[in-house]
Amino acid sequence: MAFRNGTLQGAYFMIAARAVGLDVGGMSGFDNAKVDAEFFPDGRVKSNFLCNVGHGDPTKVMAKLPRLEFEEACTSSVAGPEAREAPG
């Protein structure tokens, strides 16, 4: 449970950092044991993911992709009352 909650808190941190104009990059797939030994040698804390935060080189940072308009992203397949058939 704590691991999942830690991941969610990390995601909130990343969203907040981006909201104030920072570049953020989360990373997984690293050697957790080596990171833990280097930064948390007492074993009370364990790494979940790495996150770099700062201002990236504008010539190397990927531009944001275009966003969909609300109407393009959100549709409803539920028919209104006028589309329902009368019983019988």
Instruction: Give tens-digit pLDDT for 38-62.
Output: 999 999 999 999 999 999 898 888 7
Kindly list the domain boundaries of the chain, sorted by start residue.
Answer: 2-61
The average confidence (pLDDT) of the chain is: 86
Residues 6 or more apart from 40 whose CB is under 8 A from it? 46, 47
CA angle 1, 6, 10 (to 5 degrees): 150
Query: What was the pLDDT predicted at 86?
Result: 57
Mark out the alpha helices in 20-79 (DSSP H runs): 32-39, 70-73
3-state SS assignment for residue 35:
helix
pTM of the model: 0.63
